[in-house]
Amino acid sequence: MTSQGDSTSKEAYAFVPGHITGIFRIHDEAENLLFRGSVGAGFSIAAGTLTTVRISESSSLKMRIVYNNELIDAPVTSAVILRLLEDHDTTFNIEIAHESQLPIGIGFGASGAGALGTALALSSLIGNDTGVQTTGVHAHYAEVVNHTGLGDVIAQCHGGFEMRTKPGAPGIGEVVKIPYDHSKQVVLAGSPGLETKEILTNPEKRERINRVGDDLLEGLLASPDFDNFIIAAREFSRRTGLMTERTESALLELQSSGFKECSMVMLGDSVFSFCSESESRSVVDILTHFWTQDQILVTSVTSDGGRLV
């Protein structure tokens, strides 16, 4: 939805869910960045990012980007803006405000949510196509060029529980939906510790991720259901050696307490655990042994993708 601010400015709003990846395989060899991406599986969550974009005409391009009231250097959001305005004759003063439940840098899809929200809202203000697939192309490009993600944006366009079966931007990549129990909650816990960019550009880690991912995704594609996703995600986190000591200890305690629908979040020093609403307090109590209360989030899978609001 677009609204008029003062006489010279306009603003628009978009909401994009967070996204959790449990297993993936890197595909970033294509010369065209829109054909780069990942295959894998994960789910979008009800917790997400509300992005407000305000623009006014200016003699030169100016950008101010705020995340939860803190001014940030935001290369992904900036890349979205520059790509959208590439062929635009007018220059703007652009203010972006991301209000988010998603901490940055722990694998909850924060950069993808901010990028897609910016693309949706800014497109609506400058008269571009606001279809989520079209705007998602710009967000995907910004993630890939900054090495901050490969598959979050296409998943955040679709929502729900998904398996990405062909890499690439929305409209190029392909997604298959995985059925899930809508009554389940998911408890997330995490903190900075694994740098996505460092892992995506490390030859040894890439080779291991792709070898293990190829092996496990073949079986998941043959039977893409929730139970097989959990099994594949746990095996992937173990065999790739990506687990930190904290995530490994937390997952062992969750499983020994009967909460077996859990695994590591890719990529972060982070975990997810599915449970019933009545069990969520017990899961939170276990995770407070490893993370602080403000590093734990109780949410659910959402079937809604990114959208203007």
* Token digits of residue 196: 């996505």
CA distances from 144 to 33, 79, 165, 198, 291 (A): 7, 10, 18, 13, 30
Which pLDDT score, from 0 to 100, does residue 119 have? 98
Residue 234 has pLDDT above 90, yes or no: yes
Domains in the chain, ordered, with CATH? Answer: 2-178 (3.30.230.10), 185-299 (3.30.70.890)
Mean confidence (pLDDT) of the chain:
95
What are the tens digits of pLDDT across the range 261-300? 999 999 999 999 999 999 999 999 999 999 999 999 999 9
Mean pLDDT of 193-217: 89
Strands 262-264 and 185-191: unpaired
pLDDT digits (tens, 9 = 90+) for 169-196: 999 999 999 999 999 999 999 998 777 7
Give the pLDDT score at 5.
47
The single-letter code of the amino acid at 182 is H
pTM, 2 dp = 0.95
* Average pLDDT score over residue span 107-126: 97
Residue 24 buriedness (CB in 10 A; 0-12 / 13-18 / 19+): buried
Output the pLDDT for position 198.
Answer: 83
Residue 257 CA to its chain's centroid (Å): 29
